[in-house]
Structure 1
């Protein structure tokens, strides 16, 4: 497993279904709190029993194995009950963002062919007078779908990603074993669990002792795997917050003695901008996990200064690989490179090819990132043409531009669709965004291209200033002094916020729309 000390070179995945996670956790972690929200909470044993009752209730309503069920609810205690209930019933989970406009949500539900749609209010009634033992379940992990998860649509129309149980279990185990120093096994009753074989000096947070606050939406790939399934598998207690209040988050993190902080860079930007962070005792934090969007180098360095006991683990993935393809080493002696998204997870292959196609490029050259591994989707739902364009000879073409270095670490340069062309030169917005993020007067920034008939595209920056007296011209001059002429910003627009998706990804299409409208 990529030279992680104490772990085997190869990770063997048990052939099982995704619901085996809650079955194993209910027995192993029992009375430990699984999830808490305000004054309410649910233990691992209660979660397993409630999920089983829900599965029986769904079957009683006529749900059949292989049917699809859309969950349209925010993060709440009913969500994991419904999620595992759907899977224990032999059905397929279809996550739907509850904040989507009705027309867009309905389009996803209909596209997936959902036989049923559940909201949080309906879940408690499903388990009434039902047994705590799950119904008989026969699943072919390689063929039967666990999830039909929709892409974020940050660059276009959302597509349904078909993920069988084998892909979901594989990616969950790749991620959980890598970050905790563990190997998987099935317990005596077929539940999925872990044995933590790694040295406590390397992985100080032991199974069954972790505490985290979660804001990542569970309908998103990072939320489903890292925010829901991984904590259940590892026995981590998760406290749910309904919205981001940086001061309240930091106070709660100090009070609970959280062991990890995870989310998208937008979360960390908000925490770092909060004056309270300097005075809070965050010495309990041993891991900082970032995903969904690139973390600016300046942000990573500031977090390291504030929480020196924490290992910063930045990963890279997309819905089409269930969640994650690469990750920085989580063990304390691992080689981490600030700005890199780490190395391929166990069983995963990554290569970089020319954007226009061709043979893999040598280390150090930019190209499109391609991924192959057990976590790769089986295709887009009802989109064979899009599937054929994306998966070629078993390799998933991600649409992201990256570089592999001599040590096998991946560096994401930009999205292929975000790359600008100025007089034939490639301009990568992330390079400019890194410079903006490092500027002392900038809280957040994003760069997009403005079409120009003479030169192609001109880089334009949207910037959230640290104070009202910040001058756009001064920021533009500071950045342009550090780049070659063809990369220079042609305009800086000061804005109150940068639009992001529920998962924390910058919605660059909205910024481009603003340029078009303006």
Structure 2
């Protein structure tokens, strides 16, 4: 099913086609066009030190040439184990310009998991952070890594500075200072067949699997998401590199290409970060203020200072921002868009954001690493219909169906089941896991997400829950997200997550973990009052059986709630 327009529902950007033309180019083409188009405009800034598009291009080609001169190219994997920083974009594009494959790793991965990922992807080079180098060293002995490139805080302000290294390591400063000319090393890349990204998933639910994303996958989804957000179509510049032509006028899309400013916190080792908040922003000529870690007070300060035009992140980011003292009076008058992903926004949270920023369009979307990044989005143009509680409609060239959880033909409109996606952004498969690939992608090309959702009559998708998060209470399916929506509507609740507590008679009991807001309403919350407020809205088998107050809901660096940690806590408590 694809989105349709009714007299009261306008979901498609006016003047834009349903299908885009995706040029057959490698990912490096995105950077080349951006350097040519945006030149001396600031691409990234960190600690008040700017990096222009022109310098980004030179530094990226320097990294590519150093890698090529040291035997790294097409078919080789380079793993990057670092937080967001000013040098990261040059490393990312340098790897791809060399024809190699980028494999991002969470810099907080425990040593055994890091070793497992490096071994599984066959990384020959590891770019890592000097502050975790002693920890990393112990994980490398059993991996295929041949070269360790070290970077650190010193490089964020001075690319010529020296990182803290040990004998045998390579300082990233050497790569950044190499020959900056464009040797077109990626000319031999096959966009349809060669891997651009080898990204790993499963960080919140279990064993990670490598996701194979070709250059075509990445370029396609950067264009799908970029055109959807900005009201544009793909275009080739005079040199044949890919850029955007904005079709929507300022009355529908007031933020113009080459004028946007954002604080960037979405981690670049995550799909949403590297596609939307690295490639997407580079293509659009956006100035990105880099924050290595999320500090809501500092985020707000820089949002005001740099007069940002948009906010972006996962729901926990907005929960934290809304609690910053003084946000109601902060000058956020330039903000015209709010982009949310990684997990659905609770409707009460949307209402609070609308009250704070009435002129901003809230563009909630949905996707997974297995579909490169994005599959659906609420309309980003001003006259579009946005349905709170949904993640929008399928974007360009993307189809969504809802299938029975046990398998079968598509379900009718309005019935919940497994979300299945088909489109040019769907991964090639799981790295060296043919059985897992065959289980996830059927013979007709539909990727089975494991998410539970429902499509309405206008093609808007609502995510009900993850199949892995679903609870079984006396044989009934209980979806935590429904309870979490009610929890966020309780005055005084700042954060919430629902998991199952093992029970010999019932199977699993719905239990809420709740963070109190730092105000009178939060202080007044009790176990009994929260349970009563939620349970009056749900049928008996869905009722909360307990409420546990905690200081913070555990989340991944990508902003996803780590329900696994809460579920393990429940299992441990029950066993004890």
Question: With structure 1 as the length reference, what TM-score do the two structures score?
Answer: 0.98
Residue 509 (str. 1) matches residue 564 (str. 2)? yes
1:82-161 matched pairs, under 5 angstroms: 82-119=91-128, 120-121=151-152, 122-137=171-186, 138-161=188-211
CA distance in 1, matches of 2:525, 2:472: 29
- Residue 451 of structure 1 deviates from its aligned partner by 2.0
Aligned residues: 518
CA distance in 2, matches of 1:9, 1:358: 28
CA distance in 1, matches of 2:544, 2:183: 59
8 A Cα contact 2:484 2:497, kept in partner = yes
Describe the superposition over 1:315-337 as per-residue Cα deviations: whole angstroms up to 9, x where unpaired: 00111000111000100111110
CA distance in 2, matches of 1:22, 1:30: 11
- Residue 130 of structure 1 deviates from its aligned partner by 1.1
User: Structure 2 vs 1, CA of residues 355 and 104 (structure 1 numbering), >3 Å: closer, same or farther?
Assistant: same
8 A Cα contact 1:88 1:134, kept in partner = no
Residue 280 (str. 1) matches residue 330 (str. 2)? yes
CA distance in 2, matches of 1:9, 1:158: 34
CA distance in 2, matches of 1:322, 1:286: 26
Residue of structure 2 equivalent to 1:28: 37
- Residue 135 of structure 1 deviates from its aligned partner by 3.8
CA distance in 2, matches of 1:181, 1:124: 39
CA distance in 1, matches of 2:525, 2:564: 26
CA distance in 1, matches of 2:118, 2:563: 25
Residue 479 (str. 1) matches residue 534 (str. 2)? yes
8 A Cα contact 1:215 1:243, kept in partner = yes
CA distance in 1, matches of 2:28, 2:185: 12
Secondary structure (helix, strand or coil) at the match of 1:273 reads coil
User: Structure 2 vs 1, CA of residues 3 and 135 (structure 1 numbering), >3 Å: closer, same or farther?
Assistant: closer
Residue of structure 2 equivalent to 1:218: 268
The worse-fitting range, judged by mean Cα deviation, of 123-132 and 503-512 is 123-132
Residue of structure 2 equivalent to 1:41: 50
CA distance in 1, matches of 2:335, 2:183: 37
1:184-203 matched pairs, under 5 angstroms: 184-203=234-253
Describe the superposition over 1:180-237 as per-residue Cα deviations: whole angstroms up to 9, x where unpaired: 0111122122322111111221111000000000111100000001110001000000
CA distance in 2, matches of 1:437, 1:61: 54
1:145-294 matched pairs, under 5 angstroms: 145-294=195-344
Describe the superposition over 1:50-81 as per-residue Cα deviations: whole angstroms up to 9, x where unpaired: 10111001011111211110011110111100
Residue of structure 1 equivalent to 2:168: none
1:304-319 matched pairs, under 5 angstroms: 304-319=354-369
Residue 498 (str. 1) matches residue 553 (str. 2)? yes
Residue of structure 1 equivalent to 2:386: 336
8 A Cα contact 1:222 1:291, kept in partner = yes
Describe the superposition over 1:457-492 as per-residue Cα deviations: whole angstroms up to 9, x where unpaired: 110111111244531111111111111111000010
CA distance in 2, matches of 1:483, 1:159: 37
User: Structure 2 vs 1, CA of residues 273 and 129 (structure 1 numbering), >3 Å: closer, same or farther?
Assistant: closer
Residue of structure 2 equivalent to 1:423: 474
The worse-fitting range, judged by mean Cα deviation, of 251-260 and 340-349 is 251-260
Secondary structure (helix, strand or coil) at the match of 1:277 reads coil
- Residue 8 of structure 1 deviates from its aligned partner by 2.3
CA distance in 1, matches of 2:474, 2:94: 55
CA distance in 2, matches of 1:32, 1:369: 41
- Residue 129 of structure 1 deviates from its aligned partner by 4.1
8 A Cα contact 2:12 2:379, kept in partner = no
8 A Cα contact 1:17 1:166, kept in partner = yes
Secondary structure (helix, strand or coil) at the match of 2:328 reads helix
Residue of structure 2 equivalent to 1:9: 18
Question: With structure 2 as the length reference, what TM-score do the two structures score?
Answer: 0.88
CA RMSD of aligned residues (A): 1.2
Residue of structure 2 equivalent to 1:62: 71
Describe the superposition over 1:353-393 as per-residue Cα deviations: whole angstroms up to 9, x where unpaired: 00011110011000000000000011111111111111112
User: Structure 2 vs 1, CA of residues 465 and 55 (structure 1 numbering), >3 Å: closer, same or farther?
Assistant: same
Secondary structure (helix, strand or coil) at the match of 2:452 reads strand
Residue 390 (str. 1) matches residue 440 (str. 2)? yes
CA distance in 1, matches of 2:468, 2:251: 43
User: Structure 2 vs 1, CA of residues 507 and 53 (structure 1 numbering), >3 Å: closer, same or farther?
Assistant: same
- Residue 251 of structure 1 deviates from its aligned partner by 2.0
Q: Which runs of 5+ in 2 are unaligned?
A: 4-10, 129-150, 153-170
Q: Which runs of 5+ in 1 are unaligned?
A: none
Secondary structure (helix, strand or coil) at the match of 2:327 reads helix
CA distance in 2, matches of 1:212, 1:492: 37
CA distance in 2, matches of 1:497, 1:243: 16
User: Structure 2 vs 1, CA of residues 9 and 512 (structure 1 numbering), >3 Å: closer, same or farther?
Assistant: closer
8 A Cα contact 1:318 1:324, kept in partner = yes
Residue 53 (str. 1) matches residue 62 (str. 2)? yes
Describe the superposition over 1:83-130 as per-residue Cα deviations: whole angstroms up to 9, x where unpaired: 000000000000011111122112111110111111335332114341
The worse-fitting range, judged by mean Cα deviation, of 181-190 and 207-216 is 181-190
Residue of structure 2 equivalent to 1:399: 450
Residue of structure 1 equivalent to 2:81: 72
- Residue 245 of structure 1 deviates from its aligned partner by 2.2
